[in-house]
Copies of this chain bind each other. A is one copy, B any other.
Amino acid sequence: MTERVIRLAKKQISIHDIAAKAGVSIATVSRVMSGGIASEASRRKVEAAIADLGYESNTISRRLAGQSGRSLLLMTTDVVNPYYSALCQGAETAARRNGYSLTLACRELENRLDENTLEHLLSLPVDGAVLVGSAVENGTDEQLLDNLLRLQQKMPIVTIGPRIEGLSCVNITSDLSVSVKKSISHLIQLGHRRICYIGGSSDSRSYRSRRESFISEVAEQGLELLVEDNCGTGFSARAGEICTARLLSRLSDRDRPTALVAANDLVALGALRQLLRMGIRVPEEMALIGCDNQFFTPYLTPPLTTVDLHPEDHGRCAVEELIRIIGGSGDVNYSQVRECSLIVRESCGALLGARHFD
């Protein structure tokens, strides 16, 4: 009934073997390994034995004895979304560079961190967790807070995304209002006055924050707010298509916006396709601006103007912060706001005449 395990033949070389070979006790070996107090003579003998036998200390028992196992958890929504996969890549690289390994927990697109997932996370042998995506985006603040506090009892956490009210932890965030401001000023500079935000889901806290920034910035600049209730439907290319079709079918040609700000590049991709389908030329008749600077954006026709949030940087930062916290040094409750940059290409009409290609 009990599961049979393949036992791979050779017994591990243990600290005991080293001790025997070097003619010292296991305690001394351990101290040499961890840089503790030991005489030069012992140190040399132990190091020779280690090199000789090719010994590597065992993560499992080190951890059982109360040490860090040097492994971190990354919880994301959906690595297929290039924003998350770039973040993941950044996190993994940073972890590996610091001698940590990274365990991945993804969710298919779901509403929130549920009971099962939480149990799974809690049972994982890791020293800390980076949380991004639905785990910190979707659901009410109380639900999120409940789950995260429970997780936090077991391990330190770092969140990426909008700060969660009432949770004290390190938080990596983009100033979405800056990203929106940059997009809107770029459009205004190019002469646009009728700008509409498309795509996204109001389940997402990032979305809500970005949308609020959009609304307030539109007001600030004295622009008209266009069909504000048309936002939403999701973060996919399909959502971009649907959303664009719905928006334009509702409005007469003269009420139509002259520029669309998409929730992300996927939404922009779908919008672009829908605009083409409807015979509306980009950027001549409609400007389009995305978000995330995903790898395919320079290759679209026209190349997409977008905002780079530097997700690899988010991943790297979160991991470095987490390792710092595990090391026990410094502040464990603040937000680090990361830069974002507007990447100007041709989908809003800039650069156009100059050189259509390149």
Judge whether B125 and A69 touch: CB under 8 Å. yes
Give the size category of A's interface with B: 35 or more
- Which residues of B sit under 8 angstroms from A292, Cβ to Cβ? none
Judge whether A85 and B96 touch: CB under 8 Å. no
- Which residues of B sit under 8 angstroms from A326, Cβ to Cβ? 5-6
Confirm or deny: A108 has a beta carbon within 8 angstroms of a beta carbon on chain B.
Answer: yes
Decide: A5 near B36, CB < 8 A? Known: A101-B120, A125-B59: no
Confirm or deny: A147 has a beta carbon within 8 angstroms of a beta carbon on chain B.
Answer: no
A268 (CB) vs chain B CBs: closest residue: B299
- Which residues of B sit under 8 angstroms from A101, Cβ to Cβ? 103, 105, 120, 124
Q: Mark A254-288, 1 if CB is under 8 A from B, else 0.
A: 00000000000010011011001100000000000
What's the Cα separation between A188 and B64 when bound, in Å? 63
Nearest chain B CB to A313 CB, angstrom units = 14
**A45-102 with Cβ < 8 A to chain B:** 56, 59-61, 63-64, 66-69, 71, 74, 78-80, 82, 85-86, 88-89, 92-93, 96, 101-102
Judge whether A106 and B80 touch: CB under 8 Å. no
Judge whether A299 and B273 touch: CB under 8 Å. yes
Confirm or deny: A252 has a beta carbon within 8 angstroms of a beta carbon on chain B.
Answer: no
A-side interface mostly: mixed
Confirm or deny: A166 has a beta carbon within 8 angstroms of a beta carbon on chain B.
Answer: no
What's the Cα separation between A6 and B3 when bound, in Å? 35
- Which residues of B sit under 8 angstroms from A298, Cβ to Cβ? 237
A296 (CB) vs chain B CBs: closest residue: B296
- Which residues of B sit under 8 angstroms from A266, Cβ to Cβ? 295
Confirm or deny: A354 has a beta carbon within 8 angstroms of a beta carbon on chain B.
Answer: no
- Which residues of B sit under 8 angstroms from A155, Cβ to Cβ? 8
A123 (CB) vs chain B CBs: closest residue: B56
CB-contact partner of A105 in B96, B106, B296, under 8 A = B96
- Which residues of B sit under 8 angstroms from A79, Cβ to Cβ? 79, 85, 88-89, 92
Judge whether A237 and B295 touch: CB under 8 Å. yes
Nearest chain B CB to A64 CB, angstrom units = 5
Confirm or deny: A353 has a beta carbon within 8 angstroms of a beta carbon on chain B.
Answer: no
Decide: A328 near B4, CB < 8 A? Known: A59-B123, A80-B295: yes
Judge whether A328 and B125 touch: CB under 8 Å. no
Judge whether A153 and B10 touch: CB under 8 Å. yes
What's the Cα separation between A330 and B68 when bound, in Å? 36
Judge whether B60 and A63 touch: CB under 8 Å. yes
Q: Which residues of A contact B (CB under 8 A)?
A: 1-8, 10, 34-36, 56, 59-61, 63-64, 66-69, 71, 74, 78-80, 82, 85-86, 88-89, 92-93, 96, 101-106, 108, 119-120, 122-125, 153-156, 237, 266, 269-270, 272-273, 276-277, 295-296, 298-301, 325-328, 357
Would you give 17 A-B contacts (Cβ < 8 Å), ordered by A?
A2-B36, A3-B328, A5-B66, A5-B68, A6-B328, A8-B153, A60-B64, A60-B69, A61-B64, A69-B125, A71-B103, A89-B108, A92-B106, A101-B103, A237-B296, A273-B301, A300-B300
- 8 residue pairs, one from A and one from B, having the closest CB atoms: A4-B328, A85-B85, A277-B357, A59-B125, A103-B103, A104-B104, A79-B85, A273-B299
